[in-house]
Chains A and B, each alone.
Chain A
């Protein structure tokens, strides 16, 4: 039996008439996870996954994908061609022959931790969490997950690229009951290997977050200055990152459509998209259409320098691609996606931001974002939790409030940026933000 590579080369050397070029995108991964629920080994999962997506350029580009490693390539190519021929849009799109130079990503080292050691680590997390504070009555969930993956891109124009990555993640979800109230919290850490996981830091964060939730009450409704913690700011930026994508802008689905070169945020705001950022855990040397990675300064001192482009949207706008051609899932077309997209940190700590604010609210978490946010209008309305800040100091805990406003107004209202940049879970689109001080948000509470 021929291997996949030979089958692909054979397919590419006999492309049917009318097919200018074809490309195979393949991904594979091996993942392991172990989880404890209330102390019992409850989740234990081992997986191999992968698949490939063929695309064919017949004037329009058509796609077809399969997760079956034994699938024949010819019928898949035929489906891709039929899909291409049914398309009616006027966008010019081609398959990419490649650039000269690509950054190199080191081959990830094998994680030496065995399955037994990962189970032992999960048990250690639980034990350590319970003994951290006697008021913690149980650990609803905790666990460890590791994995490695590879992506390759081969096309009939001679491009052949690949890279590999690896990750380790741990998490904990402790529960405490005080005076008849039950609360839980969640914390996680990520690293390149199991040994690199900062378990102590995670336990401490989970406990602090947990005990800060008791005795919380809403704030009175009205307008107030606010500090958004790094996690809260990241959640908001995640929802609205799509605004910075040129495909949304060109479809009239972004308020930033005609704003390149204009001030869209406070001069303290610098937004980067950098697939190779040393600040982020995972690095990707090329995007999903083979364009080399580079650091894009999207917003510089409040001015929108550029949107994020793939080759198709860049061509339409008469600009250069920013290397943000991204597939959401194996079967999806190459759209525009952020990579490591982050608000660059400033110099103040979260505490100093609160001191600067004086009186207001520190928002440590927002939730319900997919319910209360409109990525087109920029309006957000989210359930929030945190602390009242009185004379620059943390006062009583606050919950059951809804903060609302417009994301672009929030960016303009940023009065200080924290130094505590933190990224979300690694893999795919990875958003990062530090804490920020915002002039005013609307709070609905009592």
Chain B
């Protein structure tokens, strides 16, 4: 991607004013999105991303300069612009000698998506469209997308690291709209993997099943009453249900929150922060998973990080700068969307580990409450842990039995309180995939959990008692 001599000169220029660490990150990516609307190819976009960023650290100070022009001249200009923010003297140091550390391949790729004809992909979308239309009569519209990305990164730093990685990802996304003439409801489902087009041909991503699922979700909501509001026990299913842990707890365990004291979990290592049935992990090494990469965006190998063990906080997610602040080593969690962002601590694949509880028993014994089968997005204030999540597919439970689907449900609470109120953790864990937006841009993450129960939560909705 870039000549070593150029990179040496750039890093050297970046350290000219007293920085103690310099890093160059360069990326080149191809993204293609192909969208089918109502059975016809509606849109195809092909985008090439390109650029590089130079980061200079002095202690815990960080300076970042980036450009989409990766000529030697432009990169030197970036290095000088970054160095200009410091006014010190160059610390004596010898030439930077690069070495390439060994790395694992957690994301093998067989068929690069761009090598597959547009007509082949169109045929796959057509089959999925038929499946969604056949799922329910009320479906008025189906929008399906194949999203592919192929990103090559180079990370080199003044400690002599030279690391390269290629991240190929493939995702299928389905949204269906159900209507009855007076109102619309939407349902979505998706699956993404760190794989090439073989994700489709090997059956790991089944577009027809995903499209059908999105249609069923929309159709179910059409006749659903509004969700009642109040305080109730809540059962949250696995897969994308893990968004609750990701948003309400995961972000508060990132060093970008913890190291500034902007987290309810700061200073709580070794303390009980969750119910004993809760063990939580962030793992950047899960084979071919959506949030997996071989190295993070600081060139550090990804790893499996234990966050909470039987309710006790045992680890944070740490990038290089956060590590300097906290006096702790990197956990391979320095991530960024592309060269336009400096890296910071982020999650990869985050989940609550399987427990021992029976999935049916937890509904049977909950009395009246909400079964959140599929979660929507959410957001959280990391300082206070206050969160809101939308429930994409929810059912009202009365006397331990499903009474009716409900629409418009939201879950509201505080991460630190909900963790302590989890009273059941099921035995089967699965993951969902999404894009996580935060300080260093939008990045692919997986999240998951087994089916769990929270003994009491604020349920938002505008319906009356059912």
Task: Let me know if B260 and A38 touch, CB within 8 A.
Answer: yes
A residues in contact with B337, CB < 8 Å? none
Closest Cβ–Cβ distance, residue A108 to chain B (whole Å): 21
Indicate whether A444 sits within 8 Å of B51 (C-beta atoms), given known contacts A44-B62, A47-B340, A402-B410. Answer: no
Interface centre among A51, A79, A383, A446 (most CB of B within 10 A): A383
Indicate whether A367 sits within 8 Å of B407 (C-beta atoms), given known contacts A333-B43, A376-B184. Answer: no
Indicate whether A374 sits within 8 Å of B62 (C-beta atoms), given known contacts A44-B85, A68-B50. Answer: no
Task: Let me know if B386 and A400 touch, CB within 8 A.
Answer: yes
**Selected contact of A48 from candidates B67, B184, B386, CB within 8 Å:** B67
Task: Let me know if B461 and A86 touch, CB within 8 A.
Answer: no
Q: Which of A5-13, A196-204, A250-258, A348-356 binds B?
A: A250-258
A277 to B49, CA, bound (A): 33
**Selected contact of A89 from candidates B42, B262, B340, CB within 8 Å:** B42
A133 contacts partner chain B, Cβ-Cβ < 8 Å: no
B residues in contact with A405, CB < 8 Å? 462
A321 contacts partner chain B, Cβ-Cβ < 8 Å: no
Task: Let me know if B40 and A79 touch, CB within 8 A.
Answer: no
Nearest-neighbor residue (CB-CB) of A34 within chain B: B85
Contact with A along B386-416 (1 / 0, CB 8 A): 1111100000000000000001111010000
Task: Let me know if B140 and A252 touch, CB within 8 A.
Answer: yes
A17 contacts partner chain B, Cβ-Cβ < 8 Å: no
A residues in contact with B230, CB < 8 Å? 221, 444
A residues in contact with B122, CB < 8 Å? 86, 88
A415 contacts partner chain B, Cβ-Cβ < 8 Å: no
Query: How many B residues face the partner with a CB closer than 8 A?
Result: 75
Task: Let me know if A183 and B384 touch, CB within 8 A.
Answer: yes
A46 contacts partner chain B, Cβ-Cβ < 8 Å: yes
Q: Which of B346-354, B375-383, B444-452 binds A?
A: B375-383
Contact with B along A216-229 (1 / 0, CB 8 A): 00000100000000
Contact with B along A49-89 (1 / 0, CB 8 A): 11100000000001111111111000000011011001111
Task: Let me know if B383 and A50 touch, CB within 8 A.
Answer: no
A residues in contact with B48, CB < 8 Å? 65-68, 71
A390 contacts partner chain B, Cβ-Cβ < 8 Å: no
Task: Let me know if B47 and A331 touch, CB within 8 A.
Answer: yes
B141 contacts partner chain A, Cβ-Cβ < 8 Å: yes
B37 contacts partner chain A, Cβ-Cβ < 8 Å: yes
**Selected contact of A371 from candidates B84, B141, B261, B390, CB within 8 Å:** B390
B residues in contact with A126, CB < 8 Å? none
A residues in contact with B49, CB < 8 Å? 67
A148 to B363, CA, bound (A): 56
A379 to B63, CA, bound (A): 43
**Selected contact of A372 from candidates B28, B45, B262, B460, CB within 8 Å:** B460
Closest Cβ–Cβ distance, residue B394 to chain A (whole Å): 12
Query: How many A residues face the partner with a CB closer than 8 A?
Result: 70
A252 to B379, CA, bound (A): 28
Nearest-neighbor residue (CB-CB) of B375 within chain A: A371
Contact with B along A136-179 (1 / 0, CB 8 A): 00101000000000000000000000000000000000010000
B60 contacts partner chain A, Cβ-Cβ < 8 Å: yes
A381 to B463, CA, bound (A): 12
A87 to B50, CA, bound (A): 26
B69 contacts partner chain A, Cβ-Cβ < 8 Å: yes
Chain B contacts with A in 43-61, Cβ cutoff 8 A: 43-51, 60-61
Task: Let me know if B388 and A382 touch, CB within 8 A.
Answer: yes
A residues in contact with B261, CB < 8 Å? 38, 138
A253 to B412, CA, bound (A): 28
Nearest-neighbor residue (CB-CB) of B380 within chain A: A368
A253 to B69, CA, bound (A): 40
Task: Let me know if A66 and B410 touch, CB within 8 A.
Answer: no
Task: Let me know if A89 and B45 touch, CB within 8 A.
Answer: no
Task: Let me know if B45 and A83 touch, CB within 8 A.
Answer: yes
Nearest-neighbor residue (CB-CB) of A255 within chain B: B184
B residues in contact with A69, CB < 8 Å? 68-69
B229 contacts partner chain A, Cβ-Cβ < 8 Å: yes
A221 to B463, CA, bound (A): 11
B201 contacts partner chain A, Cβ-Cβ < 8 Å: no
**Selected contact of B37 from candidates A175, A251, A379, CB within 8 Å:** A251
A382 to B386, CA, bound (A): 12
A residues in contact with B427, CB < 8 Å? none
A90 to B41, CA, bound (A): 10
A331 to B45, CA, bound (A): 6
Closest Cβ–Cβ distance, residue A208 to chain B (whole Å): 18
Nearest-neighbor residue (CB-CB) of B256 within chain A: A37
Task: Let me know if A86 and B44 touch, CB within 8 A.
Answer: yes
Closest Cβ–Cβ distance, residue B345 to chain A (whole Å): 14
Closest Cβ–Cβ distance, residue B202 to chain A (whole Å): 24
A330 contacts partner chain B, Cβ-Cβ < 8 Å: yes
B residues in contact with A330, CB < 8 Å? 47
Closest Cβ–Cβ distance, residue A422 to chain B (whole Å): 22
Indicate whether A253 sits within 8 Å of B40 (C-beta atoms), given known contacts A83-B45, A371-B390. Answer: no
A residues in contact with B37, CB < 8 Å? 89, 251
Contact with A along B94-114 (1 / 0, CB 8 A): 000000000000000000000
**Selected contact of A381 from candidates B65, B179, B184, B390, CB within 8 Å:** B390
Task: Let me know if A45 and B64 touch, CB within 8 A.
Answer: yes
A127 contacts partner chain B, Cβ-Cβ < 8 Å: no
Closest Cβ–Cβ distance, residue B3 to chain A (whole Å): 15
A107 contacts partner chain B, Cβ-Cβ < 8 Å: no
B185 contacts partner chain A, Cβ-Cβ < 8 Å: yes
A231 to B60, CA, bound (A): 35
Task: Let me know if B141 and A383 touch, CB within 8 A.
Answer: no
Closest Cβ–Cβ distance, residue A55 to chain B (whole Å): 10
Task: Let me know if A115 and B85 touch, CB within 8 A.
Answer: yes
**Selected contact of A182 from candidates B62, B340, B383, B458, CB within 8 Å:** B383
B365 contacts partner chain A, Cβ-Cβ < 8 Å: no
Task: Let me know if A253 and B177 touch, CB within 8 A.
Answer: yes
B residues in contact with A86, CB < 8 Å? 34, 41, 44, 118-119, 122
B186 contacts partner chain A, Cβ-Cβ < 8 Å: yes
Task: Let me know if B63 and A45 touch, CB within 8 A.
Answer: yes
Task: Let me know if B118 and A371 touch, CB within 8 A.
Answer: no
**Selected contact of A42 from candidates B44, B61, B386, CB within 8 Å:** B61
Measured CB to CB, the residues of A under 8 A from B are 37-38, 40-51, 62-71, 79-80, 82-83, 86-90, 115, 138, 140, 175, 182-184, 221, 251-253, 255, 330-333, 367-368, 370-374, 376-377, 379, 381-383, 399-400, 402, 404-405, 442, 444, 446
A and B contact pairs by CB, cutoff 8 A, 12 listed: A40-B61, A46-B65, A63-B44, A67-B68, A86-B122, A252-B141, A370-B390, A379-B407, A402-B460, A404-B229, A404-B408, A444-B458
The 3 closest A-B pairs by CB, nearest first: A368-B388, A402-B460, A444-B229
Given contacts A86-B119, A252-B177, A374-B408, 12 further A-B contacts (CB under 8 A): A49-B51, A68-B68, A79-B46, A80-B46, A252-B179, A368-B390, A372-B390, A372-B408, A372-B410, A376-B184, A402-B229, A402-B460
Measured CB to CB, the residues of B under 8 A from A are 28, 31, 34, 37, 40-51, 60-71, 74, 78, 81-82, 84-85, 118-119, 122, 140-141, 177, 179, 183-186, 229-231, 260-262, 340, 342, 376-379, 381, 383-384, 386-390, 407-410, 412, 458-462
